[in-house]
Amino acid sequence: MFGKRLMVSGAIAILIGTLGACSGGGSGNGNDGNGVGNGTASAQDDTVHGLKDTVRHITAKTTRATRPRLVRTCATTTHRVRHTSSSGTGSRRKTRTWYTTERYRSCTKVHRGTETYRRTVRTEKWCVELDDVNGDKRRDDVWYQVSSSVYGEALAADDHARLEFAATREGC
């Protein structure tokens, strides 16, 4: 009986050690052991740098489309409201009840005809193509989608100038 317990506890110890090794142990990965980052990650993790190759501006594309036209219609209706008031105390207490009719507006949106509008088929994009991305000579002709201000800076830069920016996404 004692031998089986010893074997089970040994297997559990090995399992705990293996799982601890797989999880990373909390050091070197930006965590302080409880799953919360300690702020040691640098701000350069989300930026890319390389040599300017080409820039591209893709304009937004729209088309005419139709949709149901919603119109707000309102109707005035009434409902009966019960009112009560009490006076006196004990056996002389009296309750008086009366009714009034109150008016209110009920509004809904209903379909009435169609309307035309401009539907966006393709959103506007600003793209920059880099060579030697993050210092890797083999990574050439990589496109990055950027903000319009970064695009303006890249457009003004000379060809093969070193650029560093935060890309909104890779590809264009």
pLDDT one digit per residue (tens) for the chain, 172 residues: 555 666 666 667 676 766 555 554 444 444 444 444 444 344 445 788 999 889 999 999 999 999 999 999 999 999 999 999 999 888 889 999 999 999 999 999 999 999 999 999 999 999 999 988 888 888 888 899 999 999 999 999 988 899 999 988 888 8
3-state secondary structure the chain: CHHHHHHHHHHHHHHHHHHHHHHCCCCCCCECCCCCECCCCCHHHHEEEEEEEEEEEECCEEEEEEEEEEEEEEEEEEEEEEEEEEECCHHHCEEEEEEEEEEEEEEEEEEEEEEEEEEEEECCEEEEEEECHHHCCCCCCEEEEECHHHHHHHHHCCCCCEEEEECCEECC
For the full predicted model, state whether its pTM sits above 0.75. no
